[in-house]
């Protein structure tokens, strides 16, 4: 009997990750997620079958693949012919192209000014047409499902798993439809006009459909929902939203401010400034702050990749999870002698980070936390900026060493953005600040929206001097390593005012074409 082979296919940002993770929960499968470089994939494409067949044959049970990039280069019939020795089934998932393209914009792949262009819509049409073409030729080998259906009605996923002979748990949760809310109306109309025929054909060709009752409930909710929401009114340009008690001055509406132009700068990770560096050839990374601190490149460390509109960012790749957990953790360490006492002794400070978290590409897929940055003083006090994988939020924490036992005590202060404000694979500007003049609270905001504040209940017992700044995690907590990309981190030994915060955001917006 031929070995079972299941491939999750579709256009990127269409729900393929949720589909893959859901199907892979069946323990009878051996799952191989897409990867830039692995035994199965080379630059996200499948290696020739003759090179990897022995891996599949040795794998227990069936095999689950996610070779999305194959349809950039060949039709599904070609893939099926190559894998004719296996019992191959293709699961193709599609999604509203408006929301797909907006998600690509949020990834930094598409500029908002070009989002309605045919140069971006046509590839969505062409690749989804490959699924329709394959269905006509080999109906028994493909299931076509719609992302919105999987979210709306759990029975759709159950029908799919029954067709595949699996016992899997759905990973589909919610559909924000953020593209429909945030893309300008003119661009939405263009996307719809270019893609409508393909969307209708896919809807007609769906293998499984939601129940009528589920569709009625959705229609009722849409009818009674407000015509506009806070999200729909929110600009997608990287502007800074002020709090209700703070308003911008009359002259700061267009001012861009580089971190280097502001006094009090202590550290600045400017990822594109390292773009000329080959991490395999140049042994150090350099920050763009006044002291030009360096960090040696390490095994399994990050690489510069064009992660956001063609601009480079420091990328800790999810496919390196296993290597980082069992070998070198790949953490960059900027050792220096700058005095970091301002982070721990009640003085004002600001930390601004522009980063995108990702989920671990290795079971368990969902980490509870991922530490992007840790600044630790000689006396053991530490400042942590991390991503909360359960809340889908960013979090800042200050902890102090318990001098009695020489270990870190319970957290002295935790500030968190609202749940759901920072989902994986989304770029966000996170600002953490302590200002004694504003009540001495540790505060955090994300894209200008304030999160929960916290009172700092302790201070460092003695003056902190030299500190170590780590990017990518904490070697003592391998299950909390950071996966994703970071473009900018700036640390100031003073609190920034609203004009300066907005100015930095406008600087990022121009720099990364947001």
Determine, yes or no, domain membership for 476: yes
Looking at 217, 233, 249, which one is the last position of a domain?
Answer: 233
The residue with greater pLDDT, 283 or 476, is: 476
Say yes or no: 216 and 291 in one domain: no
Is 242 part of any domain? no
Q: Mark whether 164 and 264 lie in a shared domain.
A: no
Q: Which residue has the higher pLDDT, 188 or 227?
A: 188
Residues 497 and 409 in one domain: yes
Q: What is the pLDDT of residue 405?
A: 35
| Degrees, nearest 5: CA angle 17-21-22 | 115
Do 81 and 128 fall into the same domain?
yes
β-bridge pairing 369-377 and 382-388: antiparallel
The answer to whether 185 touches 47, Cβ cutoff 8 Å, is: no
Instruction: Read off the pLDDT of residues 456-508 as tens digits, 9 standing for 90 and up.
Output: 766 655 545 678 889 999 888 888 899 999 999 999 999 999 889 989 998 99
Q: What percent of the chain has pLDDT over 70?
A: 84
Half-sphere exposure of residue 125, counting CA atoms within 13 Å on the CB side?
Answer: 15
Q: Are residues 264 and 198 in the same domain?
A: no
Q: In terms of C-beta density within 10 A (0-12 exposed, 13-18 middle, 19 or more buried), how is residue 228 classed?
A: exposed
Predicted confidence (pLDDT) per residue in 167-191, tens digit = 999 999 877 788 888 999 899 999 9
Q: Is the pLDDT of residue 236 over 50?
A: no
Residue 248 within a domain? no
273 and 228 fall within a common domain: no
Residue 246 domain flag? no
Is the pTM here over 0.85, yes or no? no
Range of the domain at 431: 259-511
Q: Same domain for 130 and 272?
A: no
Q: What is the mean pLDDT of the chain?
A: 83
Clarify whether residues 296 and 342 are in a common domain: yes
**The two structure tokens encoding residue 202:** 């896919």
| Count of domains for the chain | 2
For the domain that residue 477 is a member of, what is the CATH number? 2.60.120.200
184 plus 320 within the same structural domain: no
Check whether the bond before 364 is cis (ω within 30° of 0): yes
Is residue 392 included in any domain, yes or no? yes
Q: Which residue has the tokens 């350099």?
A: 286
**CATH number of the domain bearing residue 146:** 3.40.50.300
Asked whether residue 309 falls in the same domain as residue 402, the answer is yes
For residues 214 and 264, membership in a common domain is answered with: no
Gyration radius of the chain's alpha carbons = 24
Residue 195 lies in a domain: yes
Last residue in a domain, options 186, 218, 233: 233
SS3 of 348-408: CEEEEEEEEECCCCCCCCCCCEEEEEEEEECCCCEEEEEEECCCCEEEEEEECEECCCCEE
Residues 225 and 281 in one domain: no
pLDDT at residue 282 tops 60: no
Spatial separation of the C-alpha atoms in residues 184 and 186, rounded to whole Å = 6
Q: Has residue 238 been placed in a domain?
A: no
Residue 254 lies in a domain: no
Within 8 A by CB and 6+ apart from 237, the residues are: 112, 509, 514
Model confidence at 103: pLDDT above 60: yes
In this structure, are residues 503 and 255 in contact, taking their beta carbons and an 8 Å threshold? Answer: yes
pLDDT of residue 245: 34
């Amino acid at each position: 009997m031929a070995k079972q082979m299941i491939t999750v296919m579709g256009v990127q940002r269409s729900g393929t990750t949720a589909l893959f993770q859901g199907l892979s929960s069946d323990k009878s499968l051996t799952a191989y997620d897409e990867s830039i470089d692995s035994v199965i994939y080379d630059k996200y494409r499948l290696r020739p079958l003759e090179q990897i067949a022995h891996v599949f044959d040795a794998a227990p049970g069936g095999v689950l693949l996610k070779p999305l990039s194959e349809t950039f280069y060949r039709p599904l019939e070609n893939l099926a012919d190559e894998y004719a020795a296996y019992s191959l089934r293709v699961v193709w998932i599609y999604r509203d192209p408006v929301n797909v393209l907006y998600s690509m914009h949020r990834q930094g792949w598409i500029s908002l000014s070009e989002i309605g262009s045919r140069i971006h819509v046509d590839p969505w049409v062409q690749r989804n047409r490959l699924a329709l073409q394959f269905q006509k030729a080999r109906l028994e080998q493909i299931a076509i499902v719609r992302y919105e259906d999987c979210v709306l009605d759990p029975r759709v996923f159950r029908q799919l798993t029954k067709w595949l002979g699996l016992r899997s748990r759905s990973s589909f949760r919610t559909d924000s439809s953020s593209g429909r809310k945030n893309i300008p109306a003119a661009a939405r109309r263009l996307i719809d006009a270019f893609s409508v025929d393909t969307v209708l054909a896919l809807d007609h060709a769906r293998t499984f459909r939601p129940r009528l009752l589920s569709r009625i409930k959705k229609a009722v909710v849409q009818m009674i929902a407000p015509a506009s929401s806070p999200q729909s009114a929110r600009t997608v340009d990287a502007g800074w939203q002020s709090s209700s008690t703070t308003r911008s001055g009359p002259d700061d509406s267009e001012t861009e401010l580089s971190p280097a132009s502001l006094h009090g700068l202590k550290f600045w990770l400017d990822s594109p400034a390292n773009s000329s560096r080959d991490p395999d050839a140049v042994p150090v990374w350099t920050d763009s702050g006044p002291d030009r601190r360096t960090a040696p490149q390490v095994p399994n460390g990050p690489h510069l990749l064009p992660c956001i509109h063609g601009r480079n960012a420091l990328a800790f790749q999810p496919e390196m999870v296993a290597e980082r957990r069992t070998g070198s953790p790949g953490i960059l360490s900027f050792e220096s002698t700058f005095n970091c006492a301002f982070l721990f002794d009640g003085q004002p400070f600001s930390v601004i980070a522009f980063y995108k978290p990702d989920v671990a590409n290795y079971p368990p897929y969902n980490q509870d936390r991922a530490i992007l940055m840790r600044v630790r003083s000689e006396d053991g006090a530490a400042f942590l900026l991390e991503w909360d994988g359960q809340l889908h939020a960013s979090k800042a924490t200050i902890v102090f060493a318990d001098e009695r036992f020489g270990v870190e005590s319970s957290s002295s202060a935790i500030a968190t953005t609202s749940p759901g404000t920072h989902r994986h694979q989304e770029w966000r500007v996170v600002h953490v600040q302590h200002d004694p003049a504003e009540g001495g609270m540790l505060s955090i905001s994300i894209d200008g929206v304030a999160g929960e504040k916290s009172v700092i209940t302790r201070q460092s017992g003695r003056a902190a001097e030299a500190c170590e700044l780590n990017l990518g995690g904490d070697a003592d907590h391998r299950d909390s390593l950071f996966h994703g990309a970071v473009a900018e981190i700036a640390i100031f030994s003073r609190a920034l005012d609203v004009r300066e915060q907005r100015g930095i955001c406008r600087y990022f917006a121009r720099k990364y074409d947001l």
